[in-house]
């Protein structure tokens, strides 16, 4: 047994850590054998010196094993999930989980809260009246068995060593470490007992990774480590240089989900991402024999209403209403003030500071500015015009939903400052960059 400071010294001096040393570090995270200062120092050593693939696999597996690891012996379906590195307006999980479950998979999705400028899947679900995002593990497993899908918040039972390390990384400027990001994501996903994982790695000015080289490095790291840990994994790099879909904000994104699943409106970029991820999940889960078969299954799940029905069943089983999909606003709170944001001049939308729009949602109260803060689920933006669209002066760029007039006006100004209009059309970034 080494003292914590000796383990820190090894990585500080760029030594490769063996399995026993990594196990001791993770045990110290779980039982307090490493103080916060020592865990922060270790995170900084990893941030600067990195981990090789085997070290990252071992760290991931040890953090997975620090808590409950789910098994699905009584579920006769492939256990499939998806994870996104986060962005603005990213409500893909909801429609995707429902579609893939309707095609015959079991989808046990363990989701997160909002972080920084990115919204949280668990927070969005809590927009729905009475929705219980934290059932017991036994209830979670039963929901997946009975309905095929359940989306919950991370519990204290799952990868507790990661939960502690993540909190320490958040306040020690060590979040942007590819090995630590990889281990953090995958320790939770592997704890869910998955057969197949599809990663949505976002790239752009609204993503954690701003450039394609960093996004590619993260995607390769996740695929290599997850595969090394025994989970069949594909990563898809997708665009986050503009809001995904036409809404950003908790309840507004749930309303867009209902519109998408019922076919009222499907934003083309959002639909492209959902279909790409769904096809990957079905093919790698051996529920579709090829891309054409997967495409037909996705289309059938949407056109027949099976995906919408599956989502409604999940909402009701998790203590929400029985008819959310049909009448979403009957079961969610609407903002006090709804105001159009209009174009100050005619022109094409040439650039969007997507992160700034995410931060404007946070400023409205739709995200947290400090840990544990209560959020206002009703606020945000909708009717968001996409990149390259031409607007006449005075036409609507987006609509703000706010608690009061002052906050609405601040959000209007923030939104206008986050976009650039020009006289020439600009080609938007591709929606899908790479498959890894």
Residue range 124-158, pLDDT digits in tens: 999 999 999 999 999 999 999 999 999 998 778 88
- Give Cα separations from 72 to 80, 94, 139, 145, 230 (angstroms): 12, 22, 13, 9, 15
Which residue range(s) make up the domain with 203?
80-161+172-328
In contact, 94 and 255? CB cutoff 8 Å: no
| Residue 121 sits in the same domain as residue 267 | yes
For residues 228 and 256, state if they share a domain. yes
Whether residues 398 and 351 fall in one domain: yes
Predicted model pTM: 0.91
- Segment 224-228 shows an average pLDDT of 91
| 288 and 153 share one domain | yes
- Same-domain status, 303 and 224: yes
Inside any domain, residue 59: no
Question: Cα–Cα–Cα angle for 327, 142, 84, nearest 5°?
Answer: 65
Q: Answer with the one of 309, 328, 347 that is the final residue of a domain.
A: 328
Residue 396 belongs to some domain of the structure: yes
Concerning whether 188 is annotated as a catalytic residue, the answer is yes
Q: Are residues 230 and 255 in the same domain?
A: yes
Q: Which of 56, 93, 118, 121 is catalytic?
A: 121
Write down the catalytic residue from 169, 216, 279, 313: 169
Residue 370 has what pLDDT? 65
Residue 12 annotated as catalytic: no
Instruction: Say yes or no: 323 and 348 in one domain.
Output: no
Catalytic residue (one of 64, 83, 266, 310)? 83
User: In the annotation, is 266 catalytic?
Assistant: no
Same domain, yes or no, for 41 and 140? no
| Banded pLDDT at 115 (limits 50, 70, 90) | low
Q: How far is CA 15 from CA 49, 119, 175, in A?
A: 9, 37, 21
Q: Are residues 185 and 106 in the same domain?
A: yes
On whether residue 411 sits in a domain, the answer given is yes
Please give the full DSSP string across 28-46, using - where no structure is assigned: HHHHSSS-HHHHHHHHHHH
Among residues 328, 358, 378, the one where a domain terminates is 328
Residue 33 is assigned to a structural domain of this protein? yes
Q: What's the burial of 377, exposed, middle or buried (CB within 10 Å: 0-12/13-18/19+)?
A: buried
Question: How does pLDDT run across 61-100, given as a tens digit for each residue?
Answer: 999 999 999 999 999 999 999 999 888 999 999 999 999 9
Angstrom distance (rounded) from CA 343 to CA 107: 42
Q: Which are the contacts of 118, defined by CB distance < 8 A and separation ≥ 6? A: 86, 87, 88, 90, 206, 208, 358
Q: How many structural domains are present in the chain?
A: 3
Mean pLDDT of the chain: 94
Catalytic annotation present for 269: no
CA distance 301 to 323: 18
Is the domain of 277 the same as that of 148?
yes
**Dist. CA 418–CA 357, nearest whole Å:** 7
Active-site entry in 188, 331, 355, 399: 188
Could you tell me if 356 and 316 lie in one domain?
no
Task: Kindly state whether residues 287 and 359 are assigned to the same domain.
Answer: no
The single-letter DSSP state of residue 318 is T
Residue 170: pLDDT band with limits 50, 70, 90 = confident
């Amino acid at each position: 047994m080494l003292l914590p400071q000796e383990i820190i010294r090894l990585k500080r001096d760029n030594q490769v850590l063996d399995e026993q040393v990594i196990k001791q570090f993770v045990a110290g995270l779980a039982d307090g054998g490493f103080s916060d200062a020592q865990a922060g120092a270790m995170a900084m050593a990893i941030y600067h010196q990195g981990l090789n693939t085997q070290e990252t696999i071992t760290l991931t597996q040890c953090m997975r094993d620090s808590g409950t690891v789910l098994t699905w012996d009584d579920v006769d379906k492939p256990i499939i999930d998806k994870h996104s590195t986060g962005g603005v307006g990213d409500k893909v999980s909801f429609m995707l989980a429902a579609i893939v479950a309707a095609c015959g998979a079991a989808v046990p999705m363990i989701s997160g809260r909002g972080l920084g400028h990115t919204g949280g899947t668990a927070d969005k679900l809590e927009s729905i009246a009475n929705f219980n995002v934290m059932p017991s593990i036994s209830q979670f497993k039963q929901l997946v068995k009975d309905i095929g899908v359940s989306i919950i918040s991370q519990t204290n039972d799952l990868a507790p060593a990661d939960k502690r390390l993540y909190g320490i990384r958040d306040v020690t400027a060590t979040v942007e470490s590819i090995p630590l990001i990889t281990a953090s994501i995958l320790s939770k996903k592997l704890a869910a007992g998955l057969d197949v994982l599809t990663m949505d790695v976002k790239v752009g000015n609204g993503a954690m990774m701003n450039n394609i080289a960093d996004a590619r490095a993260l995607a390769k790291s996740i695929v290599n480590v997850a595969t090394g840990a025994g989970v069949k994994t594909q990563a898809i790099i997708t665009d986050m240089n503009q809001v995904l879909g036409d809404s950003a904000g908790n309840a507004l994104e749930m309303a867009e989900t209902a519109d998408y699943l019922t076919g009222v409106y499907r934003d083309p970029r959002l639909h492209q991402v959902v279909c790409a991820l769904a096809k990957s999940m079905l093919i790698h889960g051996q529920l579709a024999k090829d891309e054409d078969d997967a495409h037909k299954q996705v289309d059938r799940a949407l056109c027949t209403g099976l995906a919408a029905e599956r989502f409604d069943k999940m909402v009701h089983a998790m203590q929400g209403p029985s008819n959310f999909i049909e009448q979403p606003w009957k079961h969610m709170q609407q903002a006090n003030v709804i105001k159009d944001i209009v174009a100050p001049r005619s022109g094409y939308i040439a650039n969007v500071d997507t992160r700034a729009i995410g931060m404007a949602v946070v400023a409205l109260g739709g995200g947290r500015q400090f840990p544990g803060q209560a959020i206002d689920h009703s606020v945000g933006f909708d009717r968001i015009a996409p990149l390259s669209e031409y607007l006449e002066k005075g036409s609507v760029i987006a609509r703000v939903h706010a608690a009061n007039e002052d906050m609405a006006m601040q959000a209007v100004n923030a939104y206008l400052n986050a976009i650039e209009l020009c006289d020439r059309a600009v080609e938007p970034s591709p929606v899908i960059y790479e498959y890894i």
